[in-house]
Structure 1
């Protein structure tokens, strides 16, 4: 049996240490009794209690969840329509423009995207009177704009690999276009829709730059609140919040892996 070179083990170990040591230290210091993050003063869960009593963080969590749910759902609906047009429709005037507009948020810097959306919202409010100010609605519109591109790419790849003969057989049996879509196409692309929704939900929940341009007073998402707190110095309650997010994500990944393993 061929032995693995020692430098590969060393490189892998160094990579895991680089990735996991900061995360482990964050989790450990979330149970620190001291207010100083880098000074260990004994084991305590007081900061988790302080976090649960922080109304600003709780409100930010609910705002982020509402925005992410709405943005992901709208992105899936619009991204699926864009993917259908790009894959199933033939050549028509404006198709290259539509393809470029659908892919632009993937490569456009977030600062540029956020600034352009801010100018759009200000201009719309001045011309048509909507939206009045910036808040949850403008954040949802902004997040839907860049999440739509990711969903379109995922669904487009699935549609390109799908067998068209199944839809043609349904049409030959008398099904109309709408029924073919809901009875044949939609179930076949359902895994791509779920993957696109989860990707859009994660991107919306994690976004800071675009949301900071699109938001206004009283509509701060969780990344914005965390960033504002960290600018004044990292506190143990932020470590507690990061630990809770880490645990939730780890449980979600574990449950998804278990479900996939049972299915296989």
Structure 2
């Protein structure tokens, strides 16, 4: 699973002889010195990061609320809601992308940044709900009852007891949503209009050439993801050591 990432990293140091960066020709640091040296690559990366951040924010807030509602309360339509939440996860992205595109067309909404954002929130929401709901179902209600016995208000109980316990699930859902949003191509392609995200830029560049700057940005994102995982694991281990 890691081998393709290593290949991407290796060819980020390649000095291609032509437009396509598929054959090793020699070592160079030119692409790393100027990662935005290709026209349009910086704008597409910024667009992808903005959409990923906003869609993660909205999907995490909405998904956490839905997860607590489904995990804590009984209401009419709860079973149907649970079923519908799994539809975006099981549905092919082509079908979902085309369906959302048709919806926007029927509503006469112009394709662009906001249609991509709405589409990403829609398909990231289910993954956040599943991650947070699993954490909510595993929470011990006696901890919240103990806080209330100590005269904590509902707000204090939620902020100081419930939310910290649910934080790992919320964080996992947020990271998953960010990853799904940042590298999505299929759904984005149906709802992008003239807006170009980084995956769409990579797809377009592959038709006329593959500059090593693409490999540089891909490698950088890979290292950032590894760093986030390592930091999270270190913090978890420290908390376990303090608790023991």
Q: TM-score, normalised by structure 1?
A: 0.80
Preserved contact between residue 103 and residue 149 of structure 1 (Cα < 8 Å): yes
Question: Does the alignment pair 1:207 with 2:184?
Answer: yes
Deviation of the 1:165 alpha carbon: 1.9
Preserved contact between residue 35 and residue 235 of structure 1 (Cα < 8 Å): no
Cα distance in 1, alignment partners of residues 68 and 53 from structure 2: 23
Question: Does the alignment pair 1:118 with 2:101?
Answer: yes
CA-based RMSD of the aligned residues comes to: 2.3
How far does the alpha carbon of each residue in 1:214-238 deviate from its partner, in whole angstroms, 9 at most, with x for none?
2111x21111111111133434333
Matches within 5 A, 1:29-178: 29-36=11-18, 37-49=21-33, 51-90=35-74, 92-125=75-108, 131=109, 133-172=110-149, 175-178=152-155
Residue of structure 2 aligned with 1:232, choices 197, 208, 214: 208
Cα distance in 2, alignment partners of residues 141 and 259 from structure 1: 33
- Number of matched pairs: 238
How far does the alpha carbon of each residue in 1:48-94 deviate from its partner, in whole angstroms, 9 at most, with x for none?
3554222411011111111111111111111111111211112x321
How far does the alpha carbon of each residue in 1:169-221 deviate from its partner, in whole angstroms, 9 at most, with x for none?
4445555544433333222211111111111111111111111112111x211
User: In 2 relative to 1, CA 118–166 (structure 1 residues): closer, same or farther, beyond 3 Å?
Assistant: same
User: In 2 relative to 1, CA 104–44 (structure 1 residues): closer, same or farther, beyond 3 Å?
Assistant: same
Residue of structure 2 aligned with 1:256, choices 208, 232, 236: 232
Preserved contact between residue 155 and residue 189 of structure 1 (Cα < 8 Å): yes
How far does the alpha carbon of each residue in 1:150-171 deviate from its partner, in whole angstroms, 9 at most, with x for none?
1111111111111112223444
| SS of the residue 1:231 aligns to | helix
| SS of the residue 2:107 aligns to | helix
Cα distance in 2, alignment partners of residues 174 and 251 from structure 1: 40
Structure whose CA Rg is larger: 1
Residue of structure 2 aligned with 1:244, choices 220, 226, 242: 220
Q: TM-score, normalised by structure 2?
A: 0.86
In structure 2, list runs of 5 or more residues that go unmatched. none
Cα distance in 2, alignment partners of residues 21 and 161 from structure 1: 36
Q: Which moved more, 1:139-148 or 1:34-43?
A: 34-43
